[in-house]
Structure 1
Amino acid sequence: MAGYWLHTCLTSHQNCRFSDAIPQLPTRVIDVGNGIDKPVRLIASDGAHGLYCTLSYRWYDSHPFKTTTENISQLYQDLPENVLHPTIREAITTTRKLGLPYLWVDALCIIQDDAADWAREAARMSAVYENSILTIAAIDSPSADEGIYRKRTHSPRPYNRDFPPNFPTGYFGYGHPFFVFSRKCRPRPLGELDTRGWCLQEQFLSPRILSYAGGELFWECSEMMASESYPGGKDSISLWCSMVERFTRRHLTVESDRLVAIQGISDVLTAYTNEEIVMGMCKSLLPRHLLWWVNTIAGDFKVKDPLHRPTNFSCPTWSWAS
C-alpha cells in the first residue's frame, strides 16, 4: 500500500512531483543494505546525491544507542541492527521494502557527543526533511520493545472484487491484497509524536509522510490524504467539499462571517492547487458544486435551528453560503 501511494504521488501529483535534480544527501545517511549479503552501515555522503527517507520519532531512553566519536568508525563498516530500537530497525526495513537506498535518523547520523557536529547538523535539519523523498512517522506512544510494526487492535476483512476487461482498477490493481478496515476515511489519530516540539517542524517540512498510527497506515502529501481504510484517498478539492459540509453544520454568532471564517483554508487550497474559490465553491467544478442542497439530517447530526437566509449578508443565491 505504501509503495502504491509513493508511486502515485511521484508520478501523478502535479504539486508533489519530484524534481528531476536528485537532491544532495545529508552529511551522513544509513545505507539500508539488502537484508541478505549487503550489511546496514553508516556512510558519509561527501556531497553525493541520492534518494533517502527520514524518520520522525521520539527518542527512547531504554535504547540509547547512538553515534559517538568513539564508535563512528565501526559504524561506517557495519551498523548492527540488533542494538537498535525496534522503531529504527523497522524503519530501515520499510525503507528497504520501498526500494529506497538510504535512511536518515538523527541519533545515528549526527555525532551525539560532538557539539560542533551537532550544531552544524541541527542548522541543516530543515533541508534534510525538505529534500527527503518520504518521512516515516512513528506516531504511537513509544514502547521499550515495540516499534512501528504493532499488533492491530482490529481484524480487517479481505477485499476482493472482479473488474470488467480494461477497467481502470486504480489502487485495486496494484498487485497486493487489500483489506477493509472501516467504512469511513478517518483522520490520522493524534499520538505521542504530536506532543514533541521538534516533530512539528519535521512533519511540516516533509513533502510526504507515511504514518504508523492506531494500528493503521496513513499517507499525507500536498495533494492527497489516504489510509488503509480509504486507500484511494481524497484529493484537495474533495477535502474542501468535505470541509464545507462540516463547516455548515457549525454555529456562527455573526452570520456574515460565513465565507470569512473559512478564508484561510481556501487560501491554502489556492496556494497548493491554483484552484480559485468563488463564493465558497471551486471555480473549475462550478457546475458540479451548483448541485448543492440543504440536508437537515446528516448521519448522527441534526440541524437544531430552522434554516434561513442571513439578513445582513449579501451573497448570490447559487452559493451554499446564501
Structure 2
Amino acid sequence: MDDTQEPTLPKRVIKISPLEEPLRLRLMISHGKTGRYATLSHCWGPPEMSPLTTTSHNFEAHLKAIDWAKLPKTFQDTVHVTRQLGLTYLWIDSICIIQDDTEDWLTESAKMGTVYERSEVTIAASHSVHSWQGLFLNRSSQSPPIPLPNFDPRSKDLCIYAEAFLKDYAAIQPESGPLAKRAWATQEWLLARRMIFYCRDRILWSCQTITQEETGEKRYNTARNPKWKIITEHYSERQLTKATDRLVALNGLVSELSKRLNDSYILGLWKNALPDQLLWQVSQQVKEPSNPLQLPSWTWASVPVGIRYMIIKNAKNHCRQIDTSVSGSITITARLKRIYDLRDGGDHRLNGLYPGICGAVGGDVYASNAKNTPRMFSYVVDRDNAECGWAVLDHSISSDASLPPLYALALMGSLTRKASEQDYTVPSGAQSSSKIQEYWILLLEAQDLATHTFTRVGVGKVYGQEYWKDSAVQRVTLV
C-alpha cells in the first residue's frame, strides 16, 4: 500500500475530536471518504463483560454522539492513544459493525482484512482478558530497565540498559497473552502494517520488517509469520465463541492473500499447494468429533482441535492428478493400497521388515510429536506382521472397538536418503540398506468402493518401495 495516499475509510468509523478541542466521539458513515485511521485488536471477554456495541436500537444515537462513560477502559485508552498519534478516525469492530444485523455483520466482517491492512496502526490489547481492563496493566516492579552510564567517547549515542531477570517471560510476549488465543486476531495481526502491542510488562512496536521492544531490543514475532502452514497451525489452536466461524474468521485474510498468490482457496487450503497442505495431523487427542459445518474430511477445519503439518523435506508430488470441485470434494489419482493392520503405538522395539527403517520410523515419530496423541498413534503393519510405517488417526478409537478397513493413498515421496545418516542409524546387527524411500500417505476409509469414494481418517508415513509392490494407481474422490 502506498503511504503517500490516504486510504478509503471503512464504511463506518469513530470520529475523534483533535487534541486541541474538548473530547468528543461519534460514529460516522464514511461514504467513501479517505483518511488515516487506527484499528483496535482486543478480546471481547465473557458475556457478562461484553463491551459497548452498536445495534439497530442505538445506531442513530451513536451517529450523534458516543457516551464516553459507557466506553470500556480499553476503548478509552485506545481513543487517547489515537489522539496522541494525531489520528482522527478509529475503527473498533463492536462499534463500527451493527451487531444485531446479520447481513451487516456478514458483509463488514468479510472486509476486516482490508480494514486492518489499510489501517495506519493497529493497537493490540495483548494481555487484557476483556475490554474493561484497559491497555495499561499493572507492571511488575522488577521489569523497568535501568540505563547505565556510557564512558566510551567513541560511542556517545550508545545506550546500555540493565534489567532484572524476568521470571515471567510471558508478561512481555504478545504470543502469550489472551488475545493470541482469539481466532479472529489472526488476520488482524497478519495484515496490519504497523502494530503496537500492549503487554502486561512491556510495549512492543511491530511492522512488516521488525518487532522491537520499548527498550529498543529487537524481537522475533512468531504470530506475524506470513507462511500459510504456520498461520493455520497457530490459528487452529485459537478460540472461537462460535464453532461455525472456524473458516469465516479467516475470510478477510484469504481475500487479501488471493490477490497476492493468484491461487484458488478451498476450505482452508490453497490449490497450488496440494497435496502438501493435505498432510496435516491433529496435535491432541480428539475424543468427541465435532464438525458443525459438515466440512469435508480432508480439510483441517473439520476437526475441533489444533493441527500440525507433517515434516516434509526433499519430497516430490506422487499424485498424477488432483482435481477440486465446488461441492467440496477432491479427486486424486495416485497409488492406493489396502492397509493390512494398525498396531497400537506403544514403546516396544520396532521389528521393521525392510532393513534400516527402524531408526527412520523412530526419528520421524519423535520429530512429528505423533505420540502426543494417545490412542490415535499407531504403527502401520504389513501382512508379514512387520512395522513398516506409522500413522496418526484424526479421531481416537476406543480400545475395544475394531477398525474398519483402511487404505493408504500415497501423496508424496522423498528423494532417497542414506541409512547411515545420523537420524537413520541402523540398529546394531541389522542389515544395512544403502537407500530408504519414504512415502507420506493419507489414511482413508471407503464410503463407496464402487465409485471409489473415501473419507480421510488420518495421516502417516510408510517406508520402502516394497510396500507398494502389490498396489495400483487409482482415481479416488475424497469427501
Query: Is 1:141–1:191's contact at 8 Å kept on the other side of the alignment?
Result: yes
The DSSP-based 3-state class of the residue aligned with 2:14 is strand
Q: Against the structure 1 CA distance between its residues 100 and 179, is the aligned structure 2 distance closer, same or farther, given a 3 Å change threshold?
A: farther
**Matched length:** 220
Over alpha carbons, which structure has the higher Rg? Answer: 2
Kindly indicate whether residue 184 of structure 2 is the aligned counterpart of residue 198 of structure 1.
yes
Q: Which has the higher contact order (CA 8 A, sep 6+)?
A: 1
Query: Is 1:226–1:232's contact at 8 Å kept on the other side of the alignment?
Result: yes
Amino acid at match of 2:136: Y
| Greater shift in the superposed pair: 113-122 or 161-170 | 161-170
TM-score (norm 2): 0.41
Q: Against the structure 1 CA distance between its residues 164 and 31, is the aligned structure 2 distance closer, same or farther, given a 3 Å change threshold?
A: farther
Q: Against the structure 1 CA distance between its residues 205 and 183, is the aligned structure 2 distance closer, same or farther, given a 3 Å change threshold?
A: same
TM-score (norm 1): 0.59
Give matches, 1:1-322, under 5 Å: 18-34=2-18, 36-60=21-45, 61=47, 62-143=49-130, 145-155=132-142, 156-159=144-147, 169=157, 187-228=173-214, 230-231=215-216, 233=218
Unaligned runs of 5+ in 2: 222-312, 315-419, 423-479
| Greater shift in the superposed pair: 182-191 or 48-57 | 182-191
String of CA shifts for 1:211-237, please: whole Å, max 9, x gaps.
111321012212211112x4253699x
Higher helix share: 1
Q: Against the structure 1 CA distance between its residues 201 and 234, is the aligned structure 2 distance closer, same or farther, given a 3 Å change threshold?
A: closer
**1:109 Cα deviation from its structure 2 partner:** 0.3
Amino acid at match of 2:41: S
The DSSP-based 3-state class of the residue aligned with 1:74 is helix
Give the Cα–Cα distance (whole angstroms) in 2 for the partners of residues 192 and 235 of structure 1: 19
Query: Aligned Cα RMSD in Å?
Result: 3.4
Give the Cα–Cα distance (whole angstroms) in 2 for the partners of residues 143 and 131 of structure 1: 25
Identical counterparts, % of pairs? 31
Amino acid at match of 2:141: H
String of CA shifts for 1:42-66, please: whole Å, max 9, x gaps.
1111101111111111113324421
Amino acid at match of 1:190: S
**1:39 Cα deviation from its structure 2 partner:** 0.8
Higher strand share: 2
Amino acid at match of 1:110: I
The DSSP-based 3-state class of the residue aligned with 1:76 is helix
Query: Is 1:163–1:169's contact at 8 Å kept on the other side of the alignment?
Result: no
